[in-house]
Amino acid sequence: MTEKSEGFFDAVIVGAGIAGMYMLYRLRELGLSTRVIEKASDVGGTWYWNRYPGARCDTDTMEYSYSFCEELQQEWEWSTRYPTQPEILHYLNHVADRFDLRPDILFNTQVQSAYFNEGTGHWQVQTENGAEFTAQFLIMATGCLSTPNTPPFDGIDTFTGPIYHTGRWPHKEVDFSGQRVGIIGTGSSGVQSIPVIAQQADQLIVFQRSAQYSVPARNRPVDPELVAEIKADYAGFRARNRLEYAGQLSHIPRNDFSALSVASVERERIYEERWQTGGFPFFGSFNDIMRDQKANETAAEFVRRKIRAVVKDPKVADMLCPTHTIACKRPVLDSNFFETFNQDNVLLVDIHSVPIQEIIPTGLRTADTNYELDTIIIATGFDAMTGTLLKIDIRGRKGLRLQDKWSAGPLNYLGLSISGFPNFFTITGPGSPSVLVNMVVAIEQHVEWVADCIDYMRGNEKKSIESILAAEHEWVDHVNNVAEGTLSPTCNSWYLGANIPGKTRVYMPLHDFPAYVKKCEELVANGYEGFLFSS
Ligand code: N01
């Protein structure tokens, strides 16, 4: 296809989710001509695509929002502790309207390739419909969990009913009344959707490969007193959260002592108190849950006891009790997940012991049973952190392909910059705290860092910036050493790329948000240590 030139922009941003929208806002403030290219028909990113029943955020509502505009955070009213997907999307639409972002966003357009032209020092960005954009800066705001993973089940194309992936849910409402529904996967998406679908479907069959620890979300209407208290000093609340390990929950901080330092009765009391609070504070019951296997086991066993207390059939309860390290996979919050398995119309199938063999026209077949189904739901997650970047044919200096550069894992600096790829930034890229942090907090920090960097370059007549290769090797080692100091790498999580067959096993997100922020600030103060500029 011949390319139609869309002209030159100071910056092209790929993606109009939370990151792309804020990046656009910041670059406009700096006076840069900017074009955002977005595959979807509107803003929202994750919250545009993940419309499955029960989809909601699991970060407290007063924290899962932009902090950059005091009026915005004062005027917006959330309804519940954990907002639903429609409510978050409504909020993001409000932001797009309020700051008039849409005129600079090109929707329904997928970026196919981008290459750095060494002659001009510009990026050439091509879209699937044959348009070409030229830009000084190329900023990937493509999200950490945006490329759905659909395992290549044999026979998947033969199924005669609908198949839905939770990460690509249709925009129209899906009615499961009177249906036999099968769902594969019990991560956050499965755990959120199963109780809701089970209310509607005639029969729901849950195909579980790994049992899942889950903590009750205890979602409820927002507490007006707490909202008023936070809004009286929203900036202070945000600042305190940014000092937390995961950039959130400063009002319920982690207890700074070991699970093994207290008597078992006291330990139980603390777990129970946080279990009743609901949500992520449970994992802050003690300071060594993620550092000491014995401490971890006390939390794991507490949750297993809770599962056994809820699930009436002991055999089903056993199947639902995980044995791996708790929280080495991304923790999950639920509303009535385990309770759902007491319903007569819900069946749990263990596909770890008896794997799925194929999908057949009328359902799904394991080694010992044919399951007749009207609809199949795939809740098998994403090719996380690198999937979307590597789907685009990105070439830096001397035609170096990002796919080749990252063949042994995502080698970069700070999750922000890649040597050989000048003026190319990744927002919450692999190697940054990203998914281990409240995503909005991580995004804002990266967007502000990139905007400040571009501002610095313009003020100091620098044409390009890229990281130094040696700094990248050190950085990736650092990210993995930090992870090795925790229990995080001890199971097959998407943090490690272990959910995608053949993907290089490297721990991708970085623990400890405040330490990371400090590092980002220090290296700037030291004249952008680890980076190379050209003038
Ligand atoms: O995906 P997952 P997700 N055959 O990868 C199973 C965020 N999120 O979409 O554990 C059979 O967590 C897999 O089994 P196993 C959040 O960060 C946030 O649920 O690999 N089964 C697992 O059970 C989350 O972590 C919210 O053995 C297969 C499931 O599918 C991330 O998105 C809500 C399989 C995948 O779980 C991803 O969550 C939703 C196969 N071949 C999502 N391959 C919020 O609340 C995989 N599985 C903010």
User: Distance from the CA of 7 to the center of ligand 1, in angstroms?
Assistant: 40
Rounded mean pLDDT, 272-278: 98
pLDDT digits (tens, 9 = 90+) for 103-147: 999 999 999 999 999 999 999 999 999 999 999 999 999 999 999
Distances (CA, A) of 96 to 64, 109, 198: 16, 18, 35
Length of the chain: 535
Instruction: Please tell me what DSSP assigns to residue 221.
Output: B
Q: Whose CA is nearest to atom 34 of ligand 1?
A: 380
Atom of ligand 1 nearest to the CA of 499: 20
Atom of ligand 1 nearest to the CA of 55: 33
pLDDT digits (tens, 9 = 90+) for 11-28: 999 999 999 999 999 999
User: Distance from the CA of 493 to the center of ligand 1, in angstroms?
Assistant: 9
Q: Whose CA is nearest to atom 26 of ligand 1?
A: 188
Q: CA nearest 65: which of 122, 123, 127, 18?
A: 18
Taking the C-alpha atoms of residue 346 and residue 319, their distance in angstroms, rounded to an integer, is 14
Q: What is the pLDDT of residue 2?
A: 52
Average pLDDT, the chain: 97
User: Distance from the CA of 238 to the center of ligand 1, in angstroms?
Assistant: 29
* Binding-site residues, ligand 1, Cβ < 6 A: 57-58, 145, 151, 166, 184-190, 192, 209-210, 330, 351, 379-382, 435, 494, 499
Binned at pLDDT 50, 70 and 90, residue 531 comes out as very high
Q: Whose CA is nearest to atom 17 of ligand 1?
A: 330
Taking the C-alpha atoms of residue 487 and residue 391, their distance in angstroms, rounded to an integer, is 30
Of 49, 82, 145, the residue with max ligand 1 atoms within 8 A of its CB, to mutate for a pocket test, comes to: 145
Helices 439-459 and 513-525 pack at an angle, to 10 degrees, of: 0
Which residues make beta-bridge pairs with 349?
207
Q: 202: which 2 tokens?
A: 């005639």
Taking the C-alpha atoms of residue 409 and residue 386, their distance in angstroms, rounded to an integer, is 9
pTM of the complete model beyond 0.95: yes
For 102-114, letters b (16+ CB in 10 Å) and e give bebbbeebebbeb
